[in-house]
């Protein structure tokens, strides 16, 4: 069974700082998705990465897929309080059963 490990588990920073969170898999990704979940709501898809070495940008968020397709990172530049939330990575793994990591809980303080 595929395992997705996310680090760090918790991250608390000041507005304007940069940060990086990580997602590592016990097996090669099929296609990796990053979601953000705000308190009291369901997760919302941010991006999907498929190709090894792929880099995608979404405003101040940069997503990178490792060359070996077993790791991914999410970098946020100049974090804002609106970035606060739980960041989850997920992979389908070829089984039609999505597996989620436990998430990184980010708090951006004004």
Give me the residues that bind another protein (CB under 8 A), please.
30-31, 33, 35, 40-45, 48, 50, 88, 90, 92, 96-103
What is the nearest approach in angstroms of another protein to the Cβ of residue 2? 11
Please provide the DSSP assignment of 30-91 as one string: SSEEEEEE-TTS--EEEEEE-STT-EEEETTEEEEE-TTSSEEEEEESS--GGG-EEEEEEE
Which of 23, 79 has the CB closer to another protein? 23
Shortest distance in whole angstroms from residue 109 CB to another protein: 22
Q: State the minimum distance, in angstroms, from the CB of residue 110 to another protein.
A: 25
Nearer to another protein, 80 or 102 (CB): 102
H or E segment and range at residue 106: strand 104-109
Least Å distance, CB 39 to another protein, is 11
* CB-nearer residue toward another protein: 43 or 83: 43
Nearer to another protein by Cβ, of 71 and 92: the residue is: 92
**Tokens 């705000």, located at residue:** 38
| Per-residue CA distances from 83 to 51, 66, 87, 105 (Å) | 26, 24, 10, 10
């Amino acid at each position: 069974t595929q395992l997705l490990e996310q680090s760090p588990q918790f991250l608390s920073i000041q507005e304007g700082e940069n940060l990086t969170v990580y997602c590592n898999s016990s097996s090669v990704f099929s296609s990796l998705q990053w979601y953000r979940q705000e308190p009291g709501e369901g997760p919302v898809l941010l991006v999907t990465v498929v190709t090894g070495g792929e880099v995608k940008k979404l405003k101040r968020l940069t997503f990178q897929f490792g060359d070996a397709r077993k790791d991914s990172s999410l970098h946020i530049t100049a974090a804002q309080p609106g970035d606060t939330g739980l960041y989850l990575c997920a992979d389908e793994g070829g089984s039609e059963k999505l597996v989620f990591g436990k998430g990184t809980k980010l708090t951006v303080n004004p």
